């Protein structure tokens, strides 16, 4: 770990694109300003640890513990209302015409 002493207004450069500025020091609090590209995530450590734990818990969740929803809603498909459209047992028009015997 690199330990630096900085005064308000002084900066630290990380890599080519991250700039940390000491904004204010008062009692036991240091305020930092961080300039970084949009694609760089910046979190306070306690938030980052909480997000990591939530992700771990979600990855380990049992399938039956997850909320269920009809398949069409999950994929965003609009399922055909019952009674409309072919079922699995009924051929579509294209399938039905391919089965037709040639006329003689």
> Per the domain annotation, does 75 fall within a domain?
no
> Per the domain annotation, does 27 fall within a domain?
yes
In this prediction, residue 58 carries a pLDDT of: 85
Instruction: State the Cα torsion 100-95-82-70 to the nearest 10°.
Output: 160
In this prediction, residue 23 carries a pLDDT of: 97
> Per the domain annotation, does 99 fall within a domain?
no
Tens of pLDDT, residue by residue, the chain (104 residues)? 999 999 999 999 999 999 999 999 999 999 999 999 999 999 999 999 999 999 988 888 776 666 677 666 655 555 555 555 555 555 555 444 444 555 55
> Per the domain annotation, does 73 fall within a domain?
no
> Per the domain annotation, does 52 fall within a domain?
yes
Q: Supply the range of the domain harboring residue 30.
A: 11-61
pTM, two decimal places: 0.53
What domain count does the chain have?
1
């Amino acid at each position: 770990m690199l330990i630096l002493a900085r005064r308000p207004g002084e900066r630290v450069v990380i890599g080519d694109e991250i700039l940390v500025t000491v904004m204010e020091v008062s009692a036991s609090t240091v305020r930092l300003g961080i300039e970084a590209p949009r694609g760089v995530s910046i979190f306070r450590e306690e938030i980052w640890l909480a997000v990591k734990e939530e992700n771990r818990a979600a990855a380990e969740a049992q399938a039956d513990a997850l909320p269920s929803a009809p398949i069409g809603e999950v994929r965003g498909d609009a399922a055909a209302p019952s009674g409309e459209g072919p079922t699995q047992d009924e051929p579509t028009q294209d399938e039905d015409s391919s089965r037709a015997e040639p006329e003689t």
